[in-house]
Amino acid sequence: MSADAKKVARELRAQLPEPHGPVLPDDRQRLLREHVMNEIHQVRAAESPKSVRPRRIRARYAVPVGMVAAGALAFTFLAGPGQGGGDTGYHFSAAPVVKVEVASADGVGALMENAARHAEAGPATRVGKNQFVYVRSHYSNMQAEAGNPLKLKTYYRESWTSQDPAKVRSRLKQPGDDIIWSAPRDGDEGYLRDQRNQTYAALQALPTDPDALLKKLRADAAYSGTSDQWLFEYVGGLIRENILPPETGAAIYRAAARIPGVVVVENAQDGDGRPGVALARTDERTHERRELVFDANSYDCLGLRAYLVQDTELGRKGTVTELQAVLDRGVVDSRDETPGT
């Protein structure tokens, strides 16, 4: 191994969680996913003497530059004791290849306006400062390993999101992991601010003018990245993983329609194959389309599907990179409760 590769390996070990440490929050998982894809492109480019190596992208929680060059390193975005063997509740499978559906910008405004009107007409589910937003999902995330086909790791997960993150910690439970988040470390103020921005009270205080809201959401999303794709993913996370006040929800849907590059996919499916219609955007660098899937009648958010829209070093066109089906959502009084218990 070269000196540069050894240095990269040391950086990588320093930034990844301990083998039995907490799982990564969604925004850091997104950073890892993007950098896995970018680094595969970079390594392939470096192998060609005529190629120009892409610009290196660094971020506070990003995978270090050159990680694939450091060896055949398997990347599991969620780490925990359940990975040591036996019946962990995880299912590993080859990433499926799906049809790349036709997408169009023409229906974006109509789709998001319908979703906004349904949100405005719906009952307000309030979340108190001492309560938690509970979400249960069926989830699959990609396992990228240099030189091997992409795999998906599938499991059920439950999250309890604190409405007072500076004092009361959130919880994430999945096979092999039952994590109560530790208090933010020195230097994690940005992450804590991001959590505060996503409480029910903070969401309720957001501007309801779509243009003003989009500007505010772009500023909030800058914790993870500044591109239109990061903005789209940030907004998608708000919709999938929260309970939104009716007026705020309506404004977020209308603001989402204004994100550059968004399209509608009429024949979409969530992670469990439930049919719907999706607001989608394709990352221009990685050629990954991410679909935020809605029920075509109720406009409830069903989940997420992401896949490649053209052949890349990561996989061929249509290869699925991430899936989510939101199965339950509600408000509870403690980290030990689920809705209805």
Residues whose CB falls within 8 Å of the CB of residue 161, separated by 6 or more in sequence, listed in order: 132, 133, 134, 135, 170, 198, 241, 242
Q: How far apart are CA 207 and CA 251, in angstroms?
A: 8
Evaluate if pTM is beyond 0.75.
yes
Contact 283/38 with Cβ under 8 angstroms? no
Count of residues making up the chain = 341
Q: How far apart are CA 256 and CA 178, in angstroms?
A: 33
Contact 191/60 with Cβ under 8 angstroms? no
Q: How far apart are CA 125 and CA 300, in angstroms?
A: 14
- The pLDDT tens digits of the residues spanning 285-332 come to 999 999 999 999 999 999 999 999 999 988 999 999 999 999 999 999
Q: How far apart are CA 158 and CA 10, in angstroms?
A: 33
- The pLDDT tens digits of the residues spanning 5-25 come to 444 444 443 444 433 334 444
Which candidate, 200, 180, 191, places its Cα nearest to that of 329? 200
CA atoms within 13 A on the CB side of 206: 32
- The pLDDT tens digits of the residues spanning 187-235 come to 556 667 777 888 999 999 999 999 999 999 999 888 767 799 999 999 9
Q: How far apart are CA 231 and CA 26, in angstroms?
A: 14
- Tokens standing for 142? 């990609």
Q: How far apart are CA 338 and CA 341, in angstroms?
A: 6
Mean pLDDT of the chain: 78
